[in-house]
Structure 1
Amino acid sequence: MTLFRNLAAAAALLAMAAAPAAAQEKVRIGTEGAYPPFNELTSDGQLVGFDIDIAKALCEEMQVECEFVTQDWDGIIPALLAGKYDAIVASMSITEERKQQVDFTDRYYTSPVAFMAAKDSDITEVTPEALAGKSVGAQSSTISGNHLQDAYGESDVRLYPTQDEANADLEAGRLDAVLVDKFVGQEWIDSAGAECCTFVGEDITDTAVVGEGIGIALRQDDDELREKINAAITAIRENGTYKEINDKYFDFDVYGE
């Protein structure tokens, strides 16, 4: 009986020692899945894109398991706050308005916004005065949509649930111009929008409009996860992983100065 108890105790100790090594922390990541080339769903339901590859690289660096959750853009912050996932990796700009609700990691890329219009459009200037009376569109709850609402009150501002819907109305001639993340717009112009549309006017790079770069949003009390992700961003920038992902999607450095 004593031998049996000793063997049972030894087995229990071995199981306890092995458990932490077998277990792996899981980080649930919210993303939209409708914002190519940064995040999108393929025809067979796979999430792909720059955001997705960056998130996977960060999880690998942190030695945690990634679990992706798709969420419509308009509800992406409320779902984070409700605990549906732990972090948003969805090309979200770091802005003062959003900081009232969530915390952000360091940026993982930088992007201006720009106007697109039909190739035969007479639009050359994109100031609020120049676009007065014009129909202008953007995806809702984005820095582009917010900027149109804030600064283009003399225009017919139309907001859309997804970028694809705004692009479709521009292509169909139902909009005079669309304000969009420059890199996302370039992806569309190079593919579906190649026949119809082009960029017009100057890029908008003012940080008061575009924010401090693109970061990963977290709940405001999650300091430990923020510090881990920041360390992982630094690591993949230094070890070449970031450049490898960058070069898969772009022929220039999206990180910025």
Structure 2
Amino acid sequence: MRIAMRIALAASAALLALGTAQAQEKVVKIGTEGAYPPFNNLTADGKLEGFDVDIAQALCDEMKVKCEFIAQDWDGIIPALQAGKFDAIIASMSITPERKEKVDFTNKYYNTPPAIAAPKDSDLKGVTKEDLAGKTIGVQASTTHFNYSSATYTDSTVKPYPTAQEYQLDLANGRLDAVNDDIVVLSQWLDSPDGACCKLVGTITPVEDIHGPGAGIAIRKGETELRDQFNAAIDAIRANGKYKEINDKYFKFDVYGG
């Protein structure tokens, strides 16, 4: 009897251990662009890195799941999520009403303002419609910055680009008068040798109907359990200091915002 009981207990313990191991091995596939430093970038050897990637890894650790990262071009990132290529998008995607028609979002995990940059010899004095009238402005396509520029700078030529690096190259080579993007993306570029050509003109006051309340994690419609897990993990890494550790690796101020 005792031997049988011991065998049963051992079997139960083994099954419990197996169940725990399987739970810990659950994989959450994360889609990110890989072309938007310092938030996400694909290195020469094919490795994804950046603030988005580190935050995603910290959230997966908090949720006790394994992160698997997949690089995806920005224009196709929402359709790829809907098609099941990955489970979530962590790619500096602003939470907007238009996108919320297609996907669900977590709470924000950061919120920084947009800005305008121009060549150092530019005569631009501000970031208003009047300041930029007659100018050609480069912006990454299918972004809130492109939507804002198209709606606001109606007396300018707004030129879309597939990636931030491509508009940066055209601005540096004199083919654009200005560019519009997140202040962090522009500031990091301007601080690099490639951005030595140019300067920050000023920040833009965000328009919530266009820019949204910040960047969130996009998931497929109706997957409330995964959304709630991410939200709890965001709160946890904010509280336990992990968010600050990652933030301070990339930035000199708290990008979470007010």
Name which of structure 1's ranges 141-150 and 172-181 shifts more when overlaid on structure 2.
141-150
Distance 1:11 1:237, change over 3 A: closer
Q: Distance in 1 between matches of 2:46 and 2:152?
A: 38
Q: How many residues align?
A: 253
Amino acid at match of 1:59: C
Q: Distance in 2 between matches of 1:202 and 1:114?
A: 4
The answer as to whether partners of 1:119 and 1:196 remain within 8 angstroms in 2 is: yes
Amino acid at match of 2:251: F
Name which of structure 1's ranges 79-88 and 152-161 shifts more when overlaid on structure 2.
152-161
How far does residue 20 in structure 1 lie from its aligned partner after superposition?
1.3
Number of the residue aligned with 2:236: 235
Q: Distance in 1 between matches of 2:102 and 2:28?
A: 20
Number of the residue aligned with 1:3: none
The answer as to whether partners of 2:114 and 2:203 remain within 8 angstroms in 1 is: no
SS at match of 2:84: coil
Give the gaps of 5 or more residues in structure 2.
Answer: none
TM-score by length of 2: 0.92
Q: Distance in 2 between matches of 1:233 and 1:97?
A: 24
Which runs of structure 2 are paired with 1:88-99 in the superposition (5 Å)? 88-99=89-100
1:172 aligns with 2:173: yes
Q: Distance in 1 between matches of 2:193 and 2:72?
A: 24
* Deviation string, structure 1 residues 139-163 (Cα, Å, up to 9, x no partner): 0011111111222222111100000
Q: Distance in 2 between matches of 1:220 and 1:192?
A: 42
* Deviation string, structure 1 residues 71-119 (Cα, Å, up to 9, x no partner): 0000011100111000000011111111111111011111110110001
Q: Distance in 2 between matches of 1:108 and 1:201?
A: 24
Number of the residue aligned with 1:251: 252
How far does residue 211 in structure 1 lie from its aligned partner after superposition?
1.0
Give the gaps of 5 or more residues in structure 1.
Answer: 1-5
Number of the residue aligned with 2:58: 57
SS at match of 1:114: strand
Distance 1:202 1:52, change over 3 A: closer
Distance 1:10 1:251, change over 3 A: closer
Amino acid at match of 2:33: E
Q: Distance in 2 between matches of 1:248 and 1:76?
A: 27
Number of the residue aligned with 1:127: 128
* Deviation string, structure 1 residues 34-75 (Cα, Å, up to 9, x no partner): 111111011211111110000000000000010001000000
Q: Distance in 2 between matches of 1:51 and 1:65?
A: 16
Amino acid at match of 2:122: S
Amino acid at match of 2:233: A
The answer as to whether partners of 1:204 and 1:210 remain within 8 angstroms in 2 is: no
Number of the residue aligned with 2:40: 39
How far does residue 233 in structure 1 lie from its aligned partner after superposition?
0.4
Q: Percentage identity across aligned positions?
A: 57
Number of the residue aligned with 1:21: 20
RMSD, aligned CA: 2.0
Q: Distance in 1 between matches of 2:96 and 2:243?
A: 23
Q: Distance in 2 between matches of 1:225 and 1:22?
A: 20
Number of the residue aligned with 1:187: 188
Number of the residue aligned with 2:88: 87
Q: Distance in 1 between matches of 2:87 and 2:93?
A: 15
